[in-house]
């Protein structure tokens, strides 16, 4: 899946900016230009822009509409690329349905036929969650309920682009690399309806270092991509009438009983679970916020993050390649329960959910396959992996994932007690979220170290797979100081993290620590959430809390 680019053969026109907007009923068809609309920003979530609670919390469909003109050139195919909507969308061009998507967080790419001098693009978004959406949820007594801890932001969250490709064009490029002695073999697969395909590899200075057609290209003395030196090459694919350039890295990944290796060197994961979340913008992609976030990740001496709990924008993935971060790519299978333990009747995660789950894994891998930063796939966060149906469900999903993804695969678990988990055997790296001293024995700082140490040691001895502690954290209100420490104070957050680090440092099989969370973020309203989740090491405005200074010193030497 190639990102739209401009060059001699290709054009891109951005439709991001001001759109018309309103809430609509289920039966609404945009056959006429909408009336009674208000302005809305794209890309952005609508929820923190609007001033009325009824719209902010609207459950159902919303219309986004915009008129546009682009130069219509002959022998060109026009396409529409929406980076992501939340969640489902239906797209209409001049009142005619042209396609849509059953899920958010991934690109929607549609053919635009019959463009006129002036066109009306209407996007209907449906933000309802059910047991057959990802993430799952349910509507009860007029309320949208869901079992995950981030706000169900609604909107067109990434850029909307009209782009052109020549009739004969490069459809897709897959690059894989292997290092043998002094050479790297770059295997290039191009899907195209063109006759002649020439491929060349440019180094970071723009010099050509290898040429060929489809198949193998040799590069002498390759420079590997790593966190310290994120060296990027470019594959240039040229045909008789098209050209596409895609960056890639030469890197090798493997996992064994003891560790995770990048270019045959063991990796220690230092970083965070994050969120696409910012004031007013909600989940809207924003370059300024992205650049600030990567600057802060570097400042922290982090080397990795997990795209908790859904695929992040392509712009973020590009920055991860450039800055040298290891990314655990996650699909939005978060908070999945089979409700064996609850009494919600027949409504539950089922085979239809699994079909969607596999589709999202496939599309995510198609989107991210050439990113050197993407080093592991996470197929879910905290499913109820002890419930009877979980074993069978994830056996199916993970064996499918292995057919479309050659990266190590994980599934992030919260189930207390390893023996109860029905999925640990299926993964390459064990990822666990633990909140001793917070959700378990709240405020008992003394239990954190012994409980985590005991559990990690037991886990590793039993499964002999490397372990990353993918979440641990304490809600902290910036500026709230307390001596001796109490929960929610900056002192407690720092002490709490230190106790976790002590346990992690003493566990043989532990190959990483991801603090929950990088920054404070918005959640649904709840009795445990005063203005969202406050476990950030940074505030929602991206200023450091006290513990940031300790953690950055720790990670400098780790």
- Give phi and psi for 503, each to the nearest 5: -65, -45
Nearer to ligand GCB, 81 or 283 (CB): 283
- Beta strand pairing call for 409-413 and 374-381: parallel
Rounded to whole angstroms, how far apart are CA atoms 304 and 324? 8
Answer for the pair 120, 96: CB distance below 8 angstroms, yes or no.
no
Answer for the pair 222, 237: CB distance below 8 angstroms, yes or no.
no
Give the H/E segment covering residue 367: helix 351-368
Shortest reach from residue 311's CB to ligand GCB, in Å: 16
Rounded to whole angstroms, how far apart are CA atoms 175 and 187? 6
Collapse the DSSP code of 175 into the 3-class scheme (helix H, G, I; strand E, B; otherwise coil) and give the result.
strand
Answer for the pair 436, 446: CB distance below 8 angstroms, yes or no.
no
Count the residues in the chain.
558
Nearer to ligand GCB, 78 or 310 (CB): 310
Rounded to whole angstroms, how far apart are CA atoms 144 and 122? 25
Rounded to whole angstroms, how far apart are CA atoms 364 and 407? 13
Shortest reach from residue 534's CB to ligand GCB, in Å: 9
Active site residue 471: yes
Please, what is the Cα angle at 276 between 378 and 502, to 5 degrees? 60
Q: Name the residues that contact ligand GCB, by CB under 6 A.
A: 149, 309, 381-382, 414, 433, 471, 516, 533, 535
Nearer to ligand GCB, 58 or 535 (CB): 535
Shortest reach from residue 439's CB to ligand GCB, in Å: 7
Nearer to ligand GCB, 89 or 134 (CB): 134
Rounded to whole angstroms, how far apart are CA atoms 305 and 269? 8
Rounded to whole angstroms, how far apart are CA atoms 463 and 418? 9
Nearer to ligand GCB, 92 or 518 (CB): 518
Nearer to ligand GCB, 248 or 518 (CB): 518
Q: Please name the residue that has the structure tokens 């899920």.
A: 103
Nearer to ligand GCB, 332 or 544 (CB): 332
Active site residue 382: yes
Rounded to whole angstroms, how far apart are CA atoms 84 and 159? 8
Rounded to whole angstroms, how far apart are CA atoms 305 and 299? 14
- Give phi and psi for 24, each to the nearest 5: -130, 165
Nearer to ligand GCB, 336 or 426 (CB): 336
Collapse the DSSP code of 230 into the 3-class scheme (helix H, G, I; strand E, B; otherwise coil) and give the result.
strand
What single-letter DSSP state applies at residue 538? B
Sign of torsion over alpha carbons 285, 291, 292, 294 = positive
Which one of the listed residues 471, 478, 495, 499 is annotated catalytic? Answer: 471
Which one of the listed residues 48, 382, 490, 495 is annotated catalytic? Answer: 382
Active site residues: 382, 471
């Amino acid at each position: 899946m190639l990102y739209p680019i401009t060059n001699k053969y290709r054009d891109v026109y951005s439709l991001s900016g001001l759109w018309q907007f309103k809430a609509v009923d289920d039966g609404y068809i945009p056959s006429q230009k909408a009336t009674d609309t208000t302005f809305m920003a794209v890309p952005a979530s609508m929820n923190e822009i609007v001033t009325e609670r009824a719209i902010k919390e609207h459950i159902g469909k919303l219309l986004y509409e915009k008129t546009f003109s682009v130069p219509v050139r002959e022998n060109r195919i026009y396409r529409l690329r929406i980076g992501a909507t939340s969640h489902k969308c239906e797209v209409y061009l001049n009142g005619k349905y042209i396609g849509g998507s059953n899920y958010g967080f991934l690109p929607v790419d549609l053919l635009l036929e019959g463009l006129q001098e002036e066109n009306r693009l209407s996007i209907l978004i449906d933000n309802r969650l059910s047991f057959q959406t990802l993430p799952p949820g349910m509507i009860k007594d007029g309320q949208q309920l869901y079992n995950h801890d981030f706000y169900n932001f609604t909107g067109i969250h990434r850029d909307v682009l009209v782009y052109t490709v020549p009739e004969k064009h490069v459809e897709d490029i897959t690059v894989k690399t292997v290092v043998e002695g002094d050479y790297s073999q770059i295997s290039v697969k191009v899907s195209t309806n063109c006759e002649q395909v020439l491929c060349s590899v440019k180094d970071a200075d723009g010099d050509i270092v290898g040429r060929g057609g489809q198949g193998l290209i040799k590069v002498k003395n390759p420079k590997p991509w790593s966190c310290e030196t994120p060296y990027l090459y470019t594959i240039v694919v040229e045909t008789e009438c098209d050209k596409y350039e895609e960056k890639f890295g030469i890197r090798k990944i493997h996992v064994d009983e003891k560790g995770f290796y990048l270019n045959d060197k063991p990796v220690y994961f230092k970083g965070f679970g994050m969120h696409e979340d910012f004031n007013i913008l909600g989940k809207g992609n924003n370059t300024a916020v992205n650049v600030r976030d990567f600057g802060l990740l570097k400042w922290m001496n982090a080397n990795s993050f997990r795209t908790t709990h859904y695929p992040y924008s392509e712009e973020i993935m590009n920055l991860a390649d450039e800055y040298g971060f290891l990314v655990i790519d996650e699909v939005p299978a978060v908070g999945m329960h089979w409700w064996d333990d609850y009494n919600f009747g027949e409504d539950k995660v089922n085979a239809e959910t699994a079909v969607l789950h596999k589709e999202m894994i496939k599309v995510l891998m198609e989107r991210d396959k050439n990113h050197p930063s993407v080093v592991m796939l996470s197929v879910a966060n905290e499913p109820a992996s002890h419930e009877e149906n979980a074993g069978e469900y994830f056996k199916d999903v993970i064996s499918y994932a292995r057919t479309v993804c050659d990266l190590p695969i994980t599934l992030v678990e919260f189930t207390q007690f390893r023996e109860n988990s029905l999925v640990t055997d299926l993964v390459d790296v064990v990822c666990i979220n633990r909140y001793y001293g917070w959700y378990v024995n709240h405020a008992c700082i003394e239990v954190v170290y012994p409980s985590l140490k005991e559990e990690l040691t037991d886990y590793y001895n039993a499964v002999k797979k490397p372990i990353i502690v993918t979440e641990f954290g304490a809600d902290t209100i910036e500026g709230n100081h307390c001596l001796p420490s109490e929960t929610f104070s900056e002192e407690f957050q720092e002490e709490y993290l230190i106790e976790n680090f002590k346990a992690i440092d003493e566990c043989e099989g532990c190959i990483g620590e991801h603090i929950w969370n990088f920054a404070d973020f918005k959640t649904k309203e709840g009795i445990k959430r005063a203005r969202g989740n406050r476990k950030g090491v940074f505030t929602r405005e991206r200023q450091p809390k006290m513990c940031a200074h300790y953690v950055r010193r720790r990670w400098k030497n780790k």
